[in-house]
Amino acid sequence: MNGRRRPIPPPPLRTGGDLLRHANREMRRAGVSHGQGFLGPEEESLTLLGHALGLAWEDLPSCFRRPVSAEAATRFLELLRRRTEDRTPTAYLVGEAWLGGLRFKVDERVIIPRSYFVELIPEVIPAWLPPAERILRVADVCTGSGCLAVLLARRFPEAKVDATDLSDAALEVAAENIAAHGLKGRIRLHRTDVMRSLAGRPRYDLIISNPPYEPEKVLRRLPAEFHREPPEALVSGKDGLDVIRRLLREAASSLLPHGALVIEVGGLREAMAREWPRLPVCWLPTADGSDCVGLIHAADLAAFTRPGRRASTRGATGSRRKARGRSRGR
Ligand SMILES: C[S@@+](CC[C@H](N)C(=O)[O-])C[C@H]1O[C@@H](n2cnc3c(N)ncnc32)[C@H](O)[C@@H]1O
């Protein structure tokens, strides 16, 4: 004996529970970011374990106390390595993401679905519109994986949905998701800049968009995981408003009189208020209190963007007051 203590070997990783505890510790130690559809390391570890074992989420408890095969444990530890060292987001490692209880295929061609629209499509947005069976035309601008187009088609069963994106690669993924949900006959994909190729088509009852909205300099500061997502899905020019500017103009001439434009804008609420102080936006309530999805009534949008009027000095029409009354009543 030379008096030196031997390092204590780590406990063996035998059961599913051992692997999960190990992964939670490793993710905390590595300081991974969980902002891409997960709330914390526990959800991510469970998702990776389910993938490594080929088990559905609801069947995972069966492995918590049981030994896991050496092959499955190796697969899991490799996924964990890619998550903590390469910072590959969990959704890309397992090839899927869930939104609104639905599965969507994802890979590095598309942003990982996590939009606030999942909270608003079921009840809040329909409350502003005629009854769902009278909603016949809907557009999802900047569709990415197609996730919101699918949620819209399911919520408005009589509607045809036009979904746009500028990225061919994203549209390939969207096409797969639309087919997987059996909605090829109702959702049409358009490769176009914002809404350009939709001009001249019959007008819409509802246009929604979760556009890229990060200012260029914000992207540089985001954790490494976000740099695995397509930059064009996150960034929109110097101030983040490039796509939103276009969308306000193009949606104005594409909405039916009773329609609405609904946009997710992340941290840009103040920037929008500065840029368009008189644009009447109703900020819809979201569970985390960020309330960063704005609804603009067709009439307000048309008045706001009318040629010859300076948008930034336009006053609100009556719709905002009406909107407030309606949402308070719910
Ligand atoms: C934030 S992602 C939203 C994807 C999806 N709607 C979701 O919620 O997960 C924005 C999408 O807009 C697309 N995009 C960026 N600039 C665009 C433009 N000028 N016209 C159309 N689509 C654009 C990107 O390719 C990306 O798929």
CA of 46 to the centre of ligand 1 (A): 29
CA of 210 to the centre of ligand 1 (A): 7
pLDDT in tens, 264-282: 999 999 999 999 999 999 9
- Which residues 6+ apart lie within 8 Å of 320 measured at CB? 280, 281, 282, 297, 300
- Which residues 6+ apart lie within 8 Å of 202 measured at CB? 137
Of the candidates 293, 317, 321, 292, the one whose C-alpha atom is nearest the C-alpha of residue 305 is 317
All structural domains of the chain with their residue ranges: 16-94, 100-328
CA of 247 to the centre of ligand 1 (A): 12
Number of DSSP helices (H) and strands (E) in the chain, helices first: 12, 9
Q: Exposure of 101 by Cβ count < 10 A (0-12 exposed, 13-18 middle, 19+ buried)?
A: exposed
The pLDDT value given to residue 325: 26
Say yes or no to pLDDT of 22 above 60.
yes
Ligand 1 site-directed mutation target among 142, 162, 219, 264, most atoms within 8 Å of CB: 142
- Please state, in angstroms and rounded to a whole number, the distance separating the CA atoms of residues 226 and 329: 39
The pLDDT value given to residue 9: 61
Say yes or no to pLDDT of 317 above 90.
no
Say yes or no to pLDDT of 139 above 70.
yes
Phi-psi region of 240 (alpha: psi -120 to 50; beta: other; left: phi over 0): left
Q: Exposure of 6 by Cβ count < 10 A (0-12 exposed, 13-18 middle, 19+ buried)?
A: exposed
Other CB atoms within a 10 A radius of the CB of residue 189 amount to: 21
Nearest CA to ligand 1 atom 26: 233
The pLDDT value given to residue 13: 80
Ligand 1 site-directed mutation target among 165, 207, 216, 248, most atoms within 8 Å of CB: 165
Q: Residue range 56-61: average pLDDT?
A: 93
Nearest CA to ligand 1 atom 12: 142
Paired residues of 295 in beta bridges: 262, 282
Of the candidates 91, 102, 97, 99, the one whose C-alpha atom is nearest the C-alpha of residue 120 is 99
**16-94: CATH superfamily:** Ubiquitin-associated (UBA) domain (1.10.8.10)
Say yes or no to pLDDT of 8 above 90.
no
CA of 229 to the centre of ligand 1 (A): 12
Q: Exposure of 324 by Cβ count < 10 A (0-12 exposed, 13-18 middle, 19+ buried)?
A: exposed
Nearest CA to ligand 1 atom 17: 166
Q: Are 151 and 117 in contact (CB under 8 A)?
A: yes
Please give the DSSP secondary-structure letter assigned to residue 86: S
- Please state, in angstroms and rounded to a whole number, the distance separating the CA atoms of residues 97 and 263: 22
What CATH number belongs to 100-328?
3.40.50.150
Other CB atoms within a 10 A radius of the CB of residue 131 amount to: 9
The pLDDT value given to residue 3: 58
Nearest CA to ligand 1 atom 6: 143
Say yes or no to pLDDT of 73 above 50.
yes
The pLDDT value given to residue 1: 47
Task: State the average pLDDT for the chain.
Answer: 91
Say yes or no to pLDDT of 228 above 70.
yes
Say yes or no to pLDDT of 313 above 70.
no
pLDDT tier, 71 (very low <50, low <70, confident <90, very high otherwise): very high
The reply to whether 16-94 and 100-328 are identical in fold is no
Give residues (CB < 6 A) around ligand 1: 111, 113, 115, 142-145, 147-148, 164-167, 170, 193-194, 210-212, 232-233, 243
Nearest CA to ligand 1 atom 22: 165
- Please give the share of the chain, as a percent, with pLDDT higher than 70: 91
pLDDT in tens, 190-226: 999 999 999 999 999 999 999 999 999 998 899 999 9
